[in-house]
Amino acid sequence: AVDNWHAKAEGKCAIDYGFHLITTDFEDHHTEQMYTVMDEGITSFKLFMAYPGVFLVDDATIFRAMSAAGQRGGLICMHAENGIVINEIIKRFIADGRTAPKYHALSRPTIAEAEGVHRAIAIAEMAESPVYIVHLSSADALNKVREARDRGIPAFAETCPQYLFRSIDDYGDGWDGAKYVFTPPLREKHNCGELWKG
């Protein structure tokens, strides 16, 4: 798979690039495969706590991947939201006819992100591995990273421009807000300021 992606870039890419491999399954026998790609220079792997039936991996899989990566200096990049609960909220919203873009944000509350971040950090601590939280969007989640770092845990996070400049108000009441449907969603305005302080 890695060779295929290199071939797609060969002769077409004008910038330096690197890969994060998405991992949707990780049993003990996958460790050697991980180490092989690490020896080739790919040292970060993305896992998801969201999107049941597509990308979501369970906590045991996360633990195994973190343990293996941590032993060789690799890094797990985590999409941290409680996807199982979010999926239940989405089902309720759809059943109630709440499908406008603003409900995308309301179906993914900040507490679901904070819980995911807390759980990812706890698993990383047990696996003796660092963790990198991708596209952090809320003050609640940021506080979990701060708490871990204050305890000396190697937990890192990034945010994205949309979480620094946009808010849940951009979803509006109409369908124009659909252009802001991404995950995690936009949050209440106060989160922007907290993320700038991150």
Structure confidence by residue, pLDDT tens digits, 124-180: 999 999 999 999 999 999 999 999 999 999 999 999 999 999 999 999 867 889 999
Q: Specify the CATH number for the domain of residue 135.
A: 3.20.20.140
180 in a structural domain:
yes
For 67-104, how does the pLDDT look when each residue is reduced to its tens digit (9 = 90+)? 999 999 999 999 999 999 999 999 999 999 999 999 99
- Three-state SS across 67-129? HHHHHCCCEEEEECCCHHHHHHHHHHHHHCCCCCHHHHHHCCCHHHHHHHHHHHHHHHHHHCC
User: Quick check: 48 pLDDT over 80?
Assistant: yes
**Residue 110: per-residue pLDDT:** 98
Q: Give dist(CA 102, CA 181) in Å, integer.
A: 9
5 in a structural domain:
no
SS3 state of residue 22: strand
Please tell me the pTM assigned to this model.
0.94
155 in a structural domain:
yes
**Residue 175: per-residue pLDDT:** 81
Q: Say which residue the tokens 């989160």 belong to.
A: 191
What total of structural domains would you count in the chain?
1
Higher pLDDT, 106 or 4: 106
**Residue 18: per-residue pLDDT:** 87
28 in a structural domain:
yes
**Residue 133: per-residue pLDDT:** 99
Class of residue 166 by CB neighbours under 10 A (exposed 0-12, middle 13-18, buried 19+): middle
10 in a structural domain:
no
**Residue 44: per-residue pLDDT:** 97
3 in a structural domain:
no
User: Quick check: 1 pLDDT over 80?
Assistant: no
8 in a structural domain:
no
2 in a structural domain:
no
Task: Output the six-digit token pair for 62.
Answer: 């996360």
Across 1-10, 55-64, 97-106, least confident range: 1-10
For 4-42, how does the pLDDT look when each residue is reduced to its tens digit (9 = 90+)? 888 998 899 899 888 889 999 999 999 999 999 999 999
Domain interval for residue 183: 19-197
